[in-house]
Amino acid sequence: MAASSKTSSASGSLIELVLIVAVALGLALGIQAFLVKPYRIPSESMVPTLQVGQRVLVNRIGMHFGHPSVGDIVVFHPPAGAEQGNECGAGHPQTQVCNQPTAQKASVNFIKRVVAGPGDHLKILDGHVILNGKRQKESFAEPCGGGEGCNFPQEVTIPSGHYFMMGDNRGSSDDSRFWGPVPEDWIIGEAFATYWPPKRIGLL
């Protein structure tokens, strides 16, 4: 009788442990799916703010209760074609950034900084954002270096419901200058903190 009780107790403990692990995994997956998701920086486009291989946490739920602001670093789906190269959704002069994305979103994720929102007027001079006629203070940005994509002096207006994204590494970023502004529905969430490597842990 004592042996049977011990066996039942052990079985109950095992079932309880399995349930605890299952619930914990479910909560972890739920948090990642709906609240906070980790993201690894894949390229140099956000240097010096974010380095290749650095990991950030992305707030997925915030986008459901508010709109992105200029200066936010966000993870999003770019327009289809952006992952293969510079594909704009409409023809435009070389003096002007792409002001229309392709119709479909790509399956990949990008991370960039919001530099303009719906209705804003934008042009780029020597890699610097001129927003609504004012040059922005961008101490976080690396110099453009005079290469392709540094100067788009012809002003454009950002369409309703769209956001213009640029990397902080202005001379080495494939961004909205080439494939257009991003619809708000394609934005996954705002990156709010870094958690790896340990020496770079902190808020963004």
From the number of C-beta atoms within 10 Å of its C-beta (0-12, 13-18, 19+), residue 197 rates as exposed
Among residues 45, 123, 173, 176, the one annotated as catalytic is: 45
> Regarding beta strands 182-183 and 202-203, do their DSSP bridges make them parallel or antiparallel, or are they unpaired?
unpaired
How far apart (Å, rounded) are the C-alpha atoms in residues 112 and 127? 15
Distance CA(10)–CA(54), nearest Å, equals 44
Indicate if the alpha-carbon torsion angle 201, 204, 44, 105 is positive or negative: positive
Q: Is 11 among the residues known to form the active site?
A: no
| 45 counts as catalytic | yes
Dihedral sign of CA atoms 137, 140, 143, 149 in order: negative
Q: Which of 4, 6, 11, 112 is catalytic?
A: 112
Strands 128-131 and 134-135: antiparallel
Phi/psi at 30 (nearest 5 deg)? -65, -45
Show which residues are catalytic. Answer: 45, 112
